Each structure stands twice: as C-alpha cells, then as structure tokens.
Amino acid sequence: MVLSVYTPALHRNNNMPRNELISRYFAQGYTNKEISQVLMAVHIISISISQIQRILRSLKLKRRKVNLPLPGIICAIYKIIENSGQCLGYHAVWKRLTTEFGFVFPRKSEMELLRMIDPDGVARRRKIRLIRRRYTIPGPNFVWHIDGYDKLNPFGFPIHGAIDGFSRRILWLKVDPSNKNPQIILRGIFWILLNN
C-alpha cells in the first residue's frame, strides 16, 4: 500500500480516538481496506473492514452522498482543470476533490460532470496519445539523453546509449555486462568527453 505524500492524520498525535482517525481517513478518500491497513501500520490498531463499516454507519458517513451543492463541486473541478490538473483523468480528479476539497460523492457522478465540463480533455485522454510539443535546445552538447534498453536483459544483452538533444546524433550505444552498475554508464560518458 502506498500512502499519499501528504496525509494530514498521519502527522498528528497517535493518541487520537479511533473513530476520529477513521473519519479523518474516510474524508481523505481512503477505502475501508486502506483505512484498516493504515490503522494497523501507523497507529497499531487492529480492526476489521466490517467493523470499520459499522463505525462509519454509526458516524453517518456515506460515500454515495454528496455533501455540498453541485455548483461548489463544479467550481472545484474548474479550479483543478485550470491549474495543474489539465492532464488528470477522472480518477485523479475525484481523488483531489475528496482530499483537497472534502467532497464525498460517487466517482460516476464526477465522471459525468468532467465529461460535461471538459469534453475536449476527456476526448484527448481517451485517445491515449501524447500531444507532440515543440522541443528546442540552445545548441550542441547542451542536453544529453541517456537511457537503457532492458528487453534483452534476460538474454544477457543489456543496452544503454545516449543521444545529443540538439543534433539527435547518437553519442554512444553499448552492450555491457550490466545496466544496473552506474560505473559502466559513467565510463561511457567519460569516453565521449575524452573523444570530443
């Protein structure tokens, strides 16, 4: 399980009541299974998923209930799309709405709203195709692109190479015993520097 980079309830004191911890993780968009795992891993509280469901029912917390009016949700989606969320899919937008804005509502509703608000973005993401952007470099040897090709690794042929970003000239393309050892790749860089 991978936790969010910023999980507010994790940074608070561990003496917080169990029900309050559950409601905080619920508000951050964690599933019942994730809540159970986080409680065990971080707070050393062993609790089953069915018990979490009972506690959520007693706290009257439901995932399917929209807790704020529709204009507020639409405004929040616009804020996400205008800033860094232009390339985000419906799942990532839903996660931001739950964690940053505190909305609790079904993903299906959010998906329909996103289709109405940003039809062009949805169509672009559905194509699963990168948009070609303009790539400019000031001059030769300004940027080198180094990468490895690991598909042939099981057969004993790890390949690594580099190209110049300006001229697209292949600087080196080598088959070595390993791609995992940085000294081997560093040797290729020194070889290019000495021969140029």
CB–CB of 93/85 below 8 Å? yes
Q: What is the pTM of this model?
A: 0.43
Q: How are beta strands 170-175 and 159-164 bridged, if at all?
A: antiparallel
Per-residue pLDDT reduced to its tens digit, 174-196? 888 877 777 877 777 777 778 76
Per-residue pLDDT reduced to its tens digit, 69-119? 678 888 888 888 887 777 788 888 888 887 777 777 777 888 888 888 888
List alpha helices for 18-148, DSSP H.
18-27, 32-43, 49-58, 70-82, 90-100, 107-117, 119-127
Write down the pLDDT at residue 4.
Answer: 52
CB–CB of 66/109 below 8 Å? yes
Question: What is the distance, to the nearest Å, from the Cα of residue 60 to the centroid of all Cα atoms in its chain?
Answer: 30
Angle between helices 107-117 and 90-100 (to 10 degrees): 110
Mean pLDDT of 34-61: 88
- State what percent of residues in the chain have pLDDT above 90: 5
What is the pLDDT confidence band of residue 24, given thresholds at 50, 70 and 90? Answer: confident
